[in-house]
Chains A and B, each alone.
Chain A
Amino acid sequence: MYPFSFTKASDTQDALNAGRRGGRYIAGGTTLVDLMRETVERPEALVDISALPLREVTVTERGGLRIGALVTMAETAAHPKVRTTFPVISEALELSASAQLRNMATLGGNIMQRTRCTYFRDVTAACNKREPGSGCAAREGFNRSHAILGTSDACVATHPSDVAVAFAALEARVHLLGPDGQRQVPFADFLLRPGNTPQHEQALNQGELITAVEIPALPRPLKSGYLKVRDRQSYEFALTSAAVALHIRGGVIREAKVAAGGVGTVPWKLPAVEEALIGERPSDRLWAEAAAHAGDGARPLQHNRFKVELLKRTVERQLRIVGGTK
């Protein structure tokens, strides 16, 4: 690990001032400290933001949820309002990492976490994300766990977060605070596809701070849940996953929110699946027909072709779990 200066921000303005000078914010630190030790990350100045007042979970006026950036994964998952209004968020969180890491890691940090691509973490390997222009060792390497959607010639790494898949499905908004004030960014625009610049992962300006993630209200009743498929039962990243939320009234699906994880360079919203569901009556046949769209546009690599079919089956199964069978 390279040396760094350390300051603890006493309040938000203090943090923004330090951020504007190039300081790197640290919240739970579970990703950042790990990558600093691997010398993948080499910040010269760390700014501890744990004292900032961003620890509230509140119900918005319209019945959505606003989760402060510093609420831990464990606190968010256990929060009664989260559990009752958006179980897909609690389920995604509790299927992530370990109890210890969930006690440390925050929501803001979770959506900022970096890929688990082993070549990204190996400083001796070529990686355009870590070292722009050096190449991508994963493209022709061992790429079983890599992305099949949203890839580019420069990068095929997946985004590792589970709860970000739920946020993508639910069309969350990221609240940001910077030197120029506040702004909100739709979740779909917050995490960037790699393109030719895989080193740029978020739509954040220098010194900007995530203050909250807001989940917009959805019509009730709403059923939602998260399914994660992986090589071991627990404490493992997703091969594929599906976040599903359905509003069914009068026997007809009125709203459908679906996204997939483990398959995209960013959490992968599935609008074609959603469109196939809306206005239809739940049935096993519908789930299969809708899920067939989940692999649209997939570009598998040598070792991850299985993900295309696995993704469809994951989405189909989760549609059945959430929507029931007729």
Chain B
Amino acid sequence: MSTETSESATSPPTQPPSAPSRRTFIATTSVAGGVIAAGGLTAGSSLLGADEAAAADTAPSSRVSLTVNGWRHTVTVDNRTSLLDLLREHFGLTGSKKGCNAGACGACTVMVDGHRVNSCLTLAVRLEGAEVTTVEGLAEGDQLHPLQQAFIDQDAFQCGYCTPGQIVSGVGCIQEGHTGSAEEIREWMSGNICRCGCYVKIVRAVEQATGRK
């Protein structure tokens, strides 16, 4: 295995200590020929129709190199793989959540080349050379990102499922400068749905991290 491919998702040295062992195990078992082979796992085999499942074994794949939270990865993936599935199922970065898988809820929000995007609608094979930042990449060591701390201080969640997407989206919102008022924050955070209805506290958390509160 080359140095490059050893930096792919399955190698312990590049993994955050919290990477779930079950996913790492599954990903490791799919390593073939020095690269990660994407199969039914990526496509979510249990959810596929018969035609799609039959095609999964022979589905076209592509090789892509990208940087995630500062770590460079080179992987070969089924062309259908979303960035979200690449992060969660191949790299063990399960912070980004799969809510709707249709670009409607924002739970999968990550930064690509400095812009917040829906990783569920981003095909991984299109990300050659891209810089990706997930919620796992926001803290500096043990020092939480100010917005992460603000979510704790403001108690800005109940179940927490949308929180990683809210936080990454909030970081983007602050960077873009759309935090002039609570109304502006609400408008520019509207791509992130919170089923528990914590919107008031989410807005306060963004305000806190902006330095407005």
Contact = CB atoms under 8 A, between A and B. Distances in A.
Query: Do A and B associate with each other?
Result: yes
A235 B118 CA distance: 14
Contacts of A235: 190-191
A46 interface: yes
A182 interface: no
Q: From A2, A8, A38, name the one whose CB has the most chain B CB atoms within 10 angstroms.
A: A2
Nearest to B55: A3
A20 to B, nearest CB: 20
Contact of A33 (B49, B121, B188): B121
B116 to A, nearest CB: 5
Nearest to B118: A100
Q: From B79, B103, B186, name the one whose CB has the most chain A CB atoms within 10 angstroms.
A: B103
A6 interface: yes
B80 interface: yes
Interface in B47-101: 49, 51-52, 55-56, 58-60, 62, 78-80, 82, 101
Interface in A1-51: 1-6, 8, 26, 29-30, 33-34, 36-39, 46, 48, 50
B186 A2 contact: no
Contacts of B52: 1-3, 39
User: Which range holds the interface residue count of chain B?
Assistant: 35 or more
A46 to B, nearest CB: 7
Contacts of B58: 3
A235 B178 CA distance: 16
Interface string A97-128: 11111011000000000000000000000000
Nearest to B101: A37
A301 B106 CA distance: 33
Given A99-B116, A101-B191, 16 more contacts: A1-B43, A3-B56, A4-B80, A5-B60, A6-B123, A8-B126, A34-B102, A34-B103, A50-B126, A99-B190, A100-B103, A100-B106, A100-B109, A100-B116, A100-B172, A234-B187
16 contacts: A3-B59, A3-B78, A3-B79, A5-B60, A6-B79, A33-B121, A38-B102, A99-B172, A99-B178, A99-B188, A100-B109, A100-B117, A104-B117, A233-B190, A234-B187, A235-B191
